[in-house]
């Protein structure tokens, strides 16, 4: 049994065959998917993600304002997120939030301010957070140290592609580390060596689909069923059976979110 800890299946890339995609995931042993609603908060994107989770027992929901869209965060967006959390028990995380200094789609000072703000809001709401960070390791760690040090709520560093120092620091801060298809890429030797060393109780797997399709499906649209390939890669790296990797990452996911899936 596997769980895709981070997917984007509510978007237009899956409009033509979303039901089949979810069914293929189930057939592949992917019993749950955490679908992450992102995009312009005033476009209906967050509502779209929440309603998908309401419809499918295996699809859980996270909502938040991605660092790319930080400039669109305002009081109305914040009220909307809080209202959606209130109305849907299927929203189990606040995210993805963080810093992306690679693309700089929003000004950096705005990204920082909105990241801090959402960490506080998530803490108040009692929700775990999902962190996106790119080319902003030091800034991310500094902010997490100051804003995520209250009640012991878990968090996930999603689509981890950072340095071994970042991995060590976020593990110290209590975070889980989620690996995507990047870990299967030919050139990802350094990432694979990090993935070998992450403590077992901190490991998660994800697709981040429709992007980052793992080997051997490169060139195709990514989908939750392919998370098995991420698990396979991690299992080989760590010298354990694929099924065992599925059990470990599923148990971690259930523990973080207080879910009771039969493992």
Q: Which residues bind Zn ion (CB under 5 A)?
A: 96, 132, 208
Nearer to Zn ion among residue 60 and residue 132 (C-beta): 132
Nearer to Zn ion among residue 178 and residue 252 (C-beta): 178
Helix-, strand-, coil-residue percentages of the chain, each rounded to 5: 50, 15, 35
SS3 95: strand
Nearest-CB residue for Zn ion: 132
Burial label, 157 (beta-carbon count in 10 A; 0-12, 13-18, 19+): buried
CB of 8 to Zn ion, least distance (A): 6
Nearer to Zn ion among residue 100 and residue 229 (C-beta): 100
CB of 60 to Zn ion, least distance (A): 14
- HEC per residue, 40-87: CCCCCHHHHHHHHHHHCCCEEEEECCCHHHHHHCCHHHHHHHHHHHHH
CB of 67 to Zn ion, least distance (A): 8
Nearer to Zn ion among residue 66 and residue 202 (C-beta): 66
Distance CA 239, CA 25 (A): 25
CB of 167 to Zn ion, least distance (A): 16
């Amino acid at each position: 049994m596997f769980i895709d800890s981070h997917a984007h299946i509510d978007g237009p890339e899956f409009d033509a065959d979303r039901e089949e995609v979810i069914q293929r995931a189930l057939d592949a042993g992917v019993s749950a998917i955490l679908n992450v609603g992102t995009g312009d908060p005033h476009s209906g994107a967050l509502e779209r993600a929440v309603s998908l989770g309401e419809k499918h027992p295996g699809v859980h929901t996270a909502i938040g304002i991605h660092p790319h869209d930080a400039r669109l965060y305002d009081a109305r967006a914040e009220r909307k997120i809080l209202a959606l959390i209130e109305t849907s028990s299927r929203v189990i995380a606040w995210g993805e939030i963080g810093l992306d200094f690679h693309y700089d789609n929003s000004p950096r000072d705005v990204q920082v301010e909105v990241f801090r703000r959402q960490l506080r809001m998530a803490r108040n709401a009692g929700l775990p957070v999902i962190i996106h960070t790119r080319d902003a390791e030091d800034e991310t760690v500094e902010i997490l140290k100051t804003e995520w040090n209250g009640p012991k709520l878990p968090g996930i560093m999603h689509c981890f592609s950072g340095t071994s120092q970042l991995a060590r620091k976020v593990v110290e801060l209590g975070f889980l580390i989620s690996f995507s298809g990047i870990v299967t890429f030919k050139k990802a030797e350094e990432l694979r060596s990090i993935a070998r060393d992450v403590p077992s109780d901190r490991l998660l797997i994800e697709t981040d689909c429709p992007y980052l399709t793992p080997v051997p499906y490169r060139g195709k649209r990514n989908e939750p069923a392919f998370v098995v390939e991420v698990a396979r890669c991690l299992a080989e790296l760590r010298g354990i059976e694929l099924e065992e990797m599925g059990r470990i990452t599923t148990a971690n996911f259930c523990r973080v979110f207080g879910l009771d899936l039969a493992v």
